[in-house]
Structure 1
């Protein structure tokens, strides 16, 4: 934390740190409420946009705030969210679609998605996901929002990372940033600073400390390194939801900043193994946004490295990583521009996926005991023949043997989509200290301080970013 001085290099009424979905929403709302706004982001134009740019970019169609509040309480699963935050979230997420249309952005139903937690009270609020042009992904949401920011003449300074908050008498007065050449830049914020810097999934130390993942692969922006969280903590912020996250089965590829989400959409001839070569779980468990129902409760999944093994029939069935034509998401696809091959052969040839003519040969490549792997596959194949998985209860309709050589495998790290924890905030998006007191003129929105304490459904993260971005921008502008 830097103490305020009289010398400032730039001056604004509201300073927004981060140019993703929450940052854009905050900047637009603050500007439209009459404030002079400055946006800072550490990335270049080609890489800015945070997780929003490479996400599914849709928000859930909340047509009933009362039921939405019920659902959010159910999803918290014994980790209660303060009621004023629940109510603000429920009311404001219901305004997302109208607000987007008010910006002149064409939006429509993208996916008529059912709830991922249908047995929970309030899940009837889930009717589908709304997206720009009625489409998912492809960077459409961030392109539309960032254009709306620029159309308003809001100043955006890219390649200008924020380093610390500048304070005086316990109040946030501005931001210490640096220019692209490393020159310090003292930015005054007369009404408030809004942190919209994203999560900490790209910070290995924070991930180990808070999420207990030792070697994850990042799915989204590599820029999510916990910058806003660190700045807020130094200014005295309390924290919430630090152990919550979303992970996926995924694959690491040499030379890429981000990993690939593996889905096996066209085949069931695959299994998940622990690093010891033994089968790990029901591979077709319903995987919601970061949680799966295992052993009678919703748990974070996956949370450990695992070997994913499949056979030649699965290789031929189609790409194990969804292509941009089907799922236009992820940093690797949208920013690094990689298109997965239709039959997985290119990635096998690159050595990203192991290939072996026999299971013992595959075991050697995975560094597992060959007899263990043979026994594991044989037991699974017997379950397929019997039509009943007595080990993990995989549904009979999804049982397909892993029996046609050659055999293939890769090790999933797992893939870390995003973290959820960060500075604790209230219903006005104001950051709180450990005693529940507001840190004056400091706000947080988006993945830097997600609302979600445990489970979250599809379209919830974007909905949260838009809603609390607007709340933060409007509140800061009126101080």
Structure 2
């Protein structure tokens, strides 16, 4: 890395990678191994870096048949086709993920023997399991392994150094402006290219409102995902794709914490989802397929509206409504902020995160809903449980557990926004495209910043995509030198 370069550059290098998650690490490693000098910029401080990769399930699907994987991706797109060259690169490179990880000296193995989440779709037979570092899921293992592979190569990583905007000279991207850890500005020259791997925009409320239609979401992953890379790509004239796609979960906002909690109710089914009017609003146990659920015969984004989740004492006593780190070592609140949900939910009830009342009318007053409506809602649901048939939303009889044991509990649930999917449109080489389909030289995108998935996605798909197109972006940036203005 050269400092104080010509024409006012503070730093000069071949490839600048912006972001230090799975896509950014993969890009940096691939660019370095292709012979480029690489600099990684990460906006977060030590202990908070790594993006949502660090707090995710951190597994990738085992792709043993690229042809079937390509078929599955086309099926999952559901009338929102992904360009065929991108499909082909995705299918080929996701099949190489495991071998590539092993080539880095990282031990991997089957973490979960996972069947497809969309078994009726053509190509779903490619799904047999999820692969993880040390054969495990979550716990930040993938990010730690990739970060070590980056640093072992001598690649410089600058923490607390957010990129702000691109530098464009004579119509060509030549570098970017960043803010150093001490608050001073940096002009960084990228001789060969810039890889944007800054994650999604789920932590930017304005972008979430404009593109996803959510008015009060709670994030699940990194608060660093504020759309920085999106703005830089737009500055360069990028087109956008998949901006309305996302993954949400039912969950709870926790005052004083940066991210929320996924309320999975793993130990009891004695709960219902209510609209703001106190009436049931959906099948509470519909299968959540990484952002989509099958509702009225088609796959739809779910949940997308605020709800109230109500449960009784039997569910409270059965176990934590939020899976603990010993069960599911994921999420920012648990992995980075270090919160351990109480085994019987009492700590969270005592904190006031969850309402408690001795009767349903008392609970209705706390929720500001009509008590007669709430009582009728619960009575109708309990009657369905007794009959073994849900005449409202066809909840499976095995999941019908009555709400009969006081006290009763409820909390408001804005959708937990796990991640956004959309961003700058890119081609099969991870090169960013303008609205006319032309390549913007020297600019690349990978990871949740520019996910491949136009609609549905299965488990392990996002990490697989980040690894595959991170590598693609880094290698292409290192080996394909864009046209540059003379004298630079």
**Could you tell me which residue of structure 2 aligns to residue 263 of structure 1?**
264
Following TM superposition, by how much is the alpha carbon of 1:169 offset from its aligned partner in structure 2, in angstroms? 2.7
**Could you tell me which residue of structure 1 aligns to residue 138 of structure 2?**
137
Q: Superposition pairs for residues 140-159 of structure 1, below 5 Å? A: 140-159=141-160
**Could you tell me which residue of structure 1 aligns to residue 301 of structure 2?**
300
Structure 1 Cα separation of the partners of residues 149 and 306 of structure 2: 41
Does structure 1 residue 107 correspond to structure 2 residue 112?
no
Q: Secondary structure at the match of 2:444?
A: strand
**Could you tell me which residue of structure 1 aligns to residue 246 of structure 2?**
245
Q: Secondary structure at the match of 2:426?
A: coil
**Could you tell me which residue of structure 1 aligns to residue 353 of structure 2?**
352
**Could you tell me which residue of structure 1 aligns to residue 98 of structure 2?**
97
Following TM superposition, by how much is the alpha carbon of 1:167 offset from its aligned partner in structure 2, in angstroms? 1.2
Q: Secondary structure at the match of 2:28?
A: helix
**Could you tell me which residue of structure 2 aligns to residue 336 of structure 1?**
337
**Could you tell me which residue of structure 1 aligns to residue 167 of structure 2?**
166
Structure 2 Cα separation of the partners of residues 159 and 346 of structure 1: 34
Are the aligned partners of 1:26 and 1:473 in contact in 2 as well (CA < 8 Å)?
yes
Structure 2 Cα separation of the partners of residues 397 and 160 of structure 1: 52
Following TM superposition, by how much is the alpha carbon of 1:175 offset from its aligned partner in structure 2, in angstroms? 1.0
Structure 2 Cα separation of the partners of residues 432 and 356 of structure 1: 56
Structure 2 Cα separation of the partners of residues 41 and 150 of structure 1: 14
Following TM superposition, by how much is the alpha carbon of 1:193 offset from its aligned partner in structure 2, in angstroms? 0.2
Q: Secondary structure at the match of 2:150?
A: helix
Are the aligned partners of 1:73 and 1:80 in contact in 2 as well (CA < 8 Å)?
yes
Structure 2 Cα separation of the partners of residues 237 and 169 of structure 1: 17
Does structure 1 residue 442 correspond to structure 2 residue 443?
yes
Q: Superposition pairs for residues 7-156 of structure 1, below 5 Å? A: 7-156=8-157
Greater mean deviation of Cα atoms: 174-183 or 10-19: 174-183
Greater mean deviation of Cα atoms: 162-171 or 394-403: 162-171
Following TM superposition, by how much is the alpha carbon of 1:6 offset from its aligned partner in structure 2, in angstroms? 1.8
**Could you tell me which residue of structure 1 aligns to residue 292 of structure 2?**
291
| Residues 15-34 of structure 1 deviation map (CA, whole Å, 9 limit, x = unaligned) | 00001110000000000000
Following TM superposition, by how much is the alpha carbon of 1:171 offset from its aligned partner in structure 2, in angstroms? 2.0
**Could you tell me which residue of structure 2 aligns to residue 405 of structure 1?**
406
Q: Secondary structure at the match of 2:111?
A: strand
| Residues 127-159 of structure 1 deviation map (CA, whole Å, 9 limit, x = unaligned) | 000000000000000000000000000011110
Report how many aligned residue pairs link the two structures.
476
Following TM superposition, by how much is the alpha carbon of 1:84 offset from its aligned partner in structure 2, in angstroms? 0.2
Following TM superposition, by how much is the alpha carbon of 1:5 offset from its aligned partner in structure 2, in angstroms? 8.4
TM-score, normalised relative to structure 1:
0.99
Structure 2 Cα separation of the partners of residues 373 and 170 of structure 1: 62
Structure 2 Cα separation of the partners of residues 176 and 350 of structure 1: 44
Structure 2 Cα separation of the partners of residues 313 and 287 of structure 1: 24
**Could you tell me which residue of structure 2 aligns to residue 282 of structure 1?**
283
| Residues 201-240 of structure 1 deviation map (CA, whole Å, 9 limit, x = unaligned) | 0000000000000000000000000000000001100000
Structure 2 Cα separation of the partners of residues 170 and 385 of structure 1: 70
Following TM superposition, by how much is the alpha carbon of 1:196 offset from its aligned partner in structure 2, in angstroms? 0.2
C-alpha RMSD of the superposition? 0.9
Q: Secondary structure at the match of 2:99?
A: helix
Distance 1:371 1:186, change over 3 A: same
Does structure 1 residue 325 correspond to structure 2 residue 350?
no
Structure 2 Cα separation of the partners of residues 180 and 110 of structure 1: 37
Structure 2 Cα separation of the partners of residues 262 and 463 of structure 1: 26
Structure 2 Cα separation of the partners of residues 90 and 21 of structure 1: 18
Following TM superposition, by how much is the alpha carbon of 1:182 offset from its aligned partner in structure 2, in angstroms? 2.1
**Could you tell me which residue of structure 2 aligns to residue 394 of structure 1?**
395
**Could you tell me which residue of structure 1 aligns to residue 486 of structure 2?**
none
Distance 1:443 1:357, change over 3 A: same
What stretches of structure 1 move > 3 A for 4+ residues in a row?
Answer: none
Following TM superposition, by how much is the alpha carbon of 1:325 offset from its aligned partner in structure 2, in angstroms? 0.2
Q: Superposition pairs for residues 183-262 of structure 1, below 5 Å? A: 183-262=184-263
Structure 2 Cα separation of the partners of residues 131 and 366 of structure 1: 42
Are the aligned partners of 1:57 and 1:462 in contact in 2 as well (CA < 8 Å)?
yes
Are the aligned partners of 1:170 and 1:440 in contact in 2 as well (CA < 8 Å)?
no
Q: Secondary structure at the match of 2:226?
A: coil
**Could you tell me which residue of structure 1 aligns to residue 314 of structure 2?**
313
Structure 2 Cα separation of the partners of residues 365 and 135 of structure 1: 42
Q: Secondary structure at the match of 1:6?
A: helix
Structure 1 Cα separation of the partners of residues 237 and 172 of structure 2: 10
**Could you tell me which residue of structure 2 aligns to residue 379 of structure 1?**
380
Following TM superposition, by how much is the alpha carbon of 1:37 offset from its aligned partner in structure 2, in angstroms? 0.3
